[in-house]
Amino acid sequence: MPNSFPHDYAQTIFEEIRDRPYRGTTYPEKSQNCYFKGTELLSRLTTLGFAMRARIGEMQWEDAPVPTEIVKLLPKDSISTHFYPEIFIDEKWRILDPSWNKSFAQKYNLPYSKFGEDNESCFKITKLYDETEQAQYIKDWTEKESNDSSNDLFITAMNNWLEDVNPKE
């Protein structure tokens, strides 16, 4: 029987990160958004020897359970993106998206990942970036985000709503 320790430990790490309540980030503060939860998961599981990769795609907040009056706070020219990891298990790349915590996802009937299973992204992806687009997006985002506060009103309102409906456990 193969040693299940790395798999079991990776599952424990994933579930701990996934089950932190989702929050948007206003810079320079870090938060429990898709990017910071995802990069922590990538880092910790690659350290255990798992093959991981990052994916970025465009999404629409209208497809999430965020109230319409909050979504309307987004700038009209805003492009919303979602970052999520994939893990190579059983000869197959599988989405391992830690964004929505399980209790919130179940409350709103949203997809959430389970370790080692075929999962959907937590957010509906309208355009998945290829490697070149992803690299360019990261470069542009890194340069822009350090001084961009255009989404702060939306993120603050969303976080206040999330605090009400998905309190920290």
Q: Is 85 exposed, middle or buried (0-12, 13-18, 19+ CB in 10 A)?
A: buried
Backbone dihedral region for residue 18 (phi beyond 0: left; psi -120 to 50: alpha; all else: beta): alpha
The pLDDT confidence band at residue 112, using thresholds 50, 70 and 90, is very high
> Residue 26 has what pLDDT?
77
The pLDDT confidence band at residue 169, using thresholds 50, 70 and 90, is low
Tens digits of per-residue pLDDT, 6-59?
889 999 999 999 999 999 987 667 789 999 999 999 999 999 999 999 999 999
Tell me the pTM. 0.89
The pLDDT confidence band at residue 4, using thresholds 50, 70 and 90, is confident
The pLDDT confidence band at residue 1, using thresholds 50, 70 and 90, is very low
Quick check: 70 and 157 in contact, CB under 8 A? Answer: yes
Average pLDDT over residues 59-70: 95
What is each CA distance from 100 to 14, 23, 26, 47, 110, in whole angstroms? 12, 9, 18, 23, 8
What is the chain's mean pLDDT, rounded?
90
